[in-house]
Structure 1
Amino acid sequence: MAGTNHHIASGDLLESLIPQKRPFVMVDTLAEYGEHHVVSHFTVTADHILVSKSRFSAPGLIENMAQTIALHTGYKFHLLRQPAPTGYIGAIKKAEIFQLPMVSETLVTRVEILHDIMGVSLVRAKVECEGALMASSELKTALAP
């Protein structure tokens, strides 16, 4: 397991793995990668577009989970030396927001790929911050043809 200081990708490499561009990036470190899981980190900054009253928003937490899924796909294709396809959220199921993280806190987002068939994936995601569960969801994503 990766520790908090370990990372596989960050900076320009990380941003090349996801379709989103600043100021709409909500992952800053690829911490763990496996065939059926991925872990990202994201430190909330005061100037982020989805921060209000020193808290990261609920839509930001959902987007953080979605970008972590995109990071898994992007890194998989990076390892194959192929351009990553664009993906889309097909459905969000059982999304729960428990708390909103504060500025300067670091989110740890874990995604488990439950099923991946013909470019459609069903995943379970959870966002934690300092050991507390911030949000969880099941998402269905699809890759563009």
Structure 2
Amino acid sequence: MSLVSSKEAIGKLIPQQLPFVLVDKLIEHGTDHIISGFEVPAQHVLVASDGRLTEAGVIEHFAQTIALHQGYDYFLRNLTPPTGYIGSIKNFEIYQLPRVGDELRTTIKILQRLFGVTMVSGEVTCREQLIAIGEMRTVIAKELG
């Protein structure tokens, strides 16, 4: 069961819009973690001709899961979700690329938040198999100026 599974509701929690959305479910949310889901659609701009989500798509899905965590935090406080950017990617390994129709499940753990910078570690699974792990830092745009 998902906390949020409506594409319209997800669209209000993240800055990305169609056709670039790479999360479609908020499965679990806590102050220091989130679990998201995404079913890889056939017509997505980041699906290659071989029917697999590209490496960039896996990384962007990971980043959008972080954005979903921040967006849902803001939503719970009746605030407008912020726009953020990837600050850095570290130790990111992709073991397998998912195919069209596959359901990704991504777990992100918040390691640190300071002055609008969020540092996380996480993993992406597909069919209960680990397909990617890594660390990422994101920066909230309003904190840049």
TM-score of the superposed pair, with normalisation by structure 2: 0.94
Find runs of 4+ consecutive structure 1 residues off by over 3 angstroms.
none
Q: In 2, Cα distance between the equivalents of 1:84 and 1:54?
A: 32
Which residue of the partner structure matches residue 70 of structure 2?
A: 73
1:7 to 2:11 alignment: no
Q: In 1, Cα distance between the equivalents of 2:65 and 2:128?
A: 18
Percent sequence identity is 45
Among 7, 21, 24, the residue aligned to 1:28: 24
Which residue of the partner structure matches residue 127 of structure 2?
A: 130
1:46 to 2:46 alignment: no
Q: In 1, Cα distance between the equivalents of 2:51 and 2:83?
A: 32
Q: In 2, Cα distance between the equivalents of 1:42 and 1:120?
A: 25
How many residues are aligned here? 140
Which residue of the partner structure matches residue 118 of structure 2?
A: 121
Unaligned runs of 5+ in 1: 1-5
Q: Which has the higher strand share?
A: 1
TM-score of the superposed pair, with normalisation by structure 1: 0.94
Unaligned runs of 5+ in 2: none
